[in-house]
Amino acid sequence: MSKLKLSILAVFTFTAVVAFSQALKPGDVAPVFSLKNVDGKMVSLSDFKDAKGFILVFTCNSCPYAIAYEDRVNALDAKFKSKGYPVIAINPNDPALQPKDNFEAMVVRANEKKFTFPYLFDDGQKIYPQFGATRTPHVFIVQKVKDELIVRYVGAIDNNYKDAADVSEKYVEDAVEALLKKKDVKVPVTVAVGCSIKANK
């Protein structure tokens, strides 16, 4: 192999390692943020005084995977919000690259699907890189521990995006149930399946 090819391979490998190392993993402290909701108001996780944690879902309007999971995300919020783990959805896509994911379209989609949770716009794409999200949808379950948010689960919602009736592993649901019972999450990391985040970087 030529020196040039070796150099290119080295750069690629280094970049991949750095990118992976920046992704949050279970046990890490999650960043705090304040983003605009589809109702026009700014939302911060600190607004939810009674929450025990959050189901953070990086998602969007345009991705077929994200669309397939919309009803299931609504169901997660309905099941766990009253128990202290509300859903917070965040659209990380650059609308210049995917116009269907602009803020106005988010408002329309949230109304159409009757989202029961905040649907926030990561304007300027400042938040998703701090989590290391790479897909839509990509889930991060965080738990309040004193004054910090500790990551407890990272990955997919379940193991069958095509058919909700044929799901055999409910990763997010099982993780939250474990946390509510003050137990360890048995499967703390899975591979997020979805569309790549549209970033102008």
27: left (phi over 0), alpha (psi -120 to 50) or beta: left
Handedness of CA 38, 126, 101, 67 (dihedral sign): negative
Q: Is it true that the peptide bond before 31 is cis, omega within 30 degrees of 0?
A: no
Quote the Cα angle for 181-183-188, to 5°: 120
Backbone angles phi, psi at 158, to 5 degrees: -155, -170
Report pLDDT digits (tens) over 112-153: 999 999 999 999 999 999 999 999 999 999 999 998 999 999
Report pLDDT digits (tens) over 34-46: 999 999 999 999 9
Q: Quote the number of domains for the chain.
A: 1
Q: Is residue 1 part of a domain?
A: no
Residue 21 pLDDT > 70, yes or no? no
Q: Is residue 111 part of a domain?
A: yes
Split at pLDDT 50, 70, 90, the class of 22 is low
Q: Is residue 21 part of a domain?
A: no
Per-residue model confidence (pLDDT) at position 11: 34
Residue 19 pLDDT > 60, yes or no? no
Question: Which residues have C-beta within 8 Å of that of residue 199, sequence separation ≥ 6?
Answer: 92, 93, 94, 97, 125
What DSSP character marks residue 189?
A: B
Q: Is residue 22 part of a domain?
A: no
Residue ranges of E strands in the chain: 34-37, 42-44, 53-58, 87-91, 119-121, 135-136, 138-145, 148-155, 195-196
38: left (phi over 0), alpha (psi -120 to 50) or beta: alpha
Q: Which CATH number is 93's domain given?
A: 3.40.30.10
For the chain, what percent of residues have pLDDT higher than 70? 89
Report pLDDT digits (tens) over 64-104: 999 999 999 999 999 999 999 999 999 999 999 999 999 99
Q: Is residue 66 part of a domain?
A: yes
Split at pLDDT 50, 70, 90, the class of 200 is confident
Radius of gyration from C-alpha coordinates of the chain? 17
Residue 13 pLDDT > 70, yes or no? no
Structure-token pair, residue 39: 């109702």
Q: Which domain range does residue 47 map to?
A: 30-196
